[in-house]
Copies of this chain bind each other. A is one copy, B any other.
Amino acid sequence: MTETFRTELMRGSLDLMILSVLAEGEKYGYLIQQSLRDSSHGRADPKAGTLYPLLQRLENEKLIRSRWESETGRRRKWYSLTAKGKKKLQVQAEEWFELTACLEKLLKPVVQISPKPA
């Protein structure tokens, strides 16, 4: 809470990733983990010990809500975005694009030296 918004963004894009994955529809924890891993081709792969506390935090912040799946023996907790979460996602996504653009400008000259043929 003491942190500025932009610091969060630098710190980790994980919140943002979770929110954007949930924007696709209601998901439970294990499914979120898989979605993220798949869509990033394994690059983003938060562990269970990271994911579940994070989901609790997001729920405490009223950005997502949850419901337990009954009926089946499987214990599944389904998460979905709240209105506040959707709003947050939009704002944060826009900020992310801005910061990314800045870093891209910094990094372009770096990577362009690399693929140069001898």
| A positions within 8 Å CB-CB of B | 6, 10-14, 16-17, 20-21, 23, 39-41, 43-45, 89-90, 93-100, 102-107, 109-111, 113-114
Selected A-B contacts with CB under 8 Å, 18 pairs? A10-B12, A10-B13, A10-B44, A16-B103, A17-B103, A17-B106, A20-B107, A20-B110, A43-B99, A43-B102, A44-B103, A89-B110, A90-B111, A90-B114, A94-B111, A94-B114, A97-B111, A100-B100
Q: Tell me, in angstroms, the Cα distance from A41 to B21 when the chains sit together.
A: 29
B residues near A95, Cβ cutoff 8 Å: 43
Whole-angstrom CA separation of A98 from B44 in the bound complex: 11
Closest 3 CB pairs of A and B: A40-B102, A20-B106, A93-B107
